[in-house]
Structure 1
Amino acid sequence: MTKRRQILVIGNNESGCTPELEKLAYDVGVEVAKSESVLITGGLGGVMKAASHGAHDAGGLTVGIIPQDNPSYANEFCDIVIPSGLGLSRDFLNALSADGVIIVGGGSGTLSETCAAYMHKKPIAALKNSGGIASKFSDQYLDHRQNVKIVGVETPQEAVRYILSQITA
C-alpha cells in the first residue's frame, strides 16, 4: 500500500471567516477529497471547518491537528483528531504533515503555517481572490532564499491541480 497524499488547507479561523471564504474552503475540501488525498487542517473553525465539511461531504478522509490537548475542541467534520497540546507550535506539525499547502484568506496564524511550509519547501498554492495572506503573498517568494514560490490560483480546482502536479512530479 502506498502512502496517500496529504494536503493541508489553511486560512481564517471563525472570527475572520466570511461566508465567501467558507464557500471557497468548502470547495477546496471537495476537490481534495475528489483527488483521493487526505485533507489536513488545524481542526478548528472557519476555513478549517469549511474545508473539512467539504471533504467529508465528498467522501474524503479528514485529519484535524488541534492545538489543544483535548479532542473535543475539533470540529465535527474531522475523521481523525490529533490533539497536539502544542498550542501555536502545532502550526509546524501541520505544515510538516503535509505534502502541499493551500491558503484561503488568512491572518497571522496562517502566515505562521505558511512560513513553516516555506522553510521546508512544501508546494504552496494561494487562492488570490480570497484576501488576507493568500492575496498578499500570491505569486511571490517569502524572502531572498526563494525556497518555493507561493503560486496564486483562481479556483479551488486549480489549487488542488497545482499541488498534485508538484507532489506527483
Structure 2
Amino acid sequence: MPYVAVVGGSSCSERQAALAREVGRLLAERAALILCGGLEGVMEHVSRGASDAGGTVIGLLPGADRRSGNPYLTWAVATGMGEMRNALLARAADSLIAIGGGYGTLSEVALALRLGRTVAALDTWRFAPPGETAGRAGSAAEGWGGRGRLVPCETALEAVEVAVRAARERWGA
C-alpha cells in the first residue's frame, strides 16, 4: 500500500481546495494511505475527498489534542511537536503531493527531497537547485542534498499518478 502525504496550507484558494478534494478521492480509489497535517485548508479538503471515497487518512497534528483535527480524518495523532511534525510527515510518507501552501509546505517539500522522496508539485512552490531553472524542465532535484525528485504537475490526476508510482517504486512493487 502506498503511503502518500498531501501537504499544503491551512488556508487555500477555491482552486486549491478543489484540487485537494480530487487528489484525496483519487488516492482513495488507488488504495493509498493518505497522511496529512490534519488541520484545515488543503489538509481538510484532501481528507474530505478521501473520506467521501472510502479512503483512510491519518492526520499528524502539531498540537497535543487529537480533537483539534478536521472531522474527515480516519485517525488523528496528536504529536505535540508543532512544526517539527513536518519532518514526521516527510519521513513517514513514500511520496508527497504539495498543493499551495506557505513556508510550512516549503519545509515539508525540502525535507522530503532531502530524504529521497518524490514530490508532485500542484499549484505550489516552483523552485530548482542553484544553477537550474524552475518549471517543468527543472523537475529533478537529484544531487541537491538528497535523492528526491520535484515533479511539477498540472492536474490532480497527474500528481496522483506521479506520487503513487513513486511510492510503489520505492518498495519495488
- Please give the TM-score of this superposition, normalised by the length of structure 1: 0.88
Residue 121 of structure 1 aligns to which amino acid in structure 2? G
Matched with 1:147 is: 147
Residue 26 of structure 1 aligns to which amino acid in structure 2? R
Q: How far, CA to CA, are the matches of 1:49 and 1:143 in structure 2? A: 34
Q: How far, CA to CA, are the matches of 2:58 and 2:154 in structure 1? A: 25
Give the C-alpha shift of residue 149 in structure 1.
2.2
- Please give the TM-score of this superposition, normalised by the length of structure 2: 0.86
Q: How far, CA to CA, are the matches of 2:164 and 2:65 in structure 1? A: 32
Q: What secondary structure, in the 3-state scheme, does the structure 2 residue paired with 1:78 have?
A: coil
Matched with 1:51 is: 46
Q: Deviations over 1:137-165 (max 9, x none)?
A: 65252874362220011111111111222
Q: What secondary structure, in the 3-state scheme, does the structure 2 residue paired with 1:22 have?
A: helix
Q: How far, CA to CA, are the matches of 1:151 and 1:59 in structure 2? A: 27
Residue 10 of structure 1 aligns to which amino acid in structure 2? V
Matched with 2:10 is: 13
Matched with 2:163 is: 163
Matched-pair identity in %: 31
Number of equivalences: 160
Residue 148 of structure 1 aligns to which amino acid in structure 2? G
Q: How far, CA to CA, are the matches of 1:114 and 1:82 in structure 2? A: 21
Moved over 6 A (4+): none
Matched with 2:32 is: 37
| Root-mean-square deviation (Å) | 1.6
Stretches of structure 2 that go unaligned for 5 or more consecutive residues are 129-134
Q: Does 1:26 align with 2:21?
A: yes
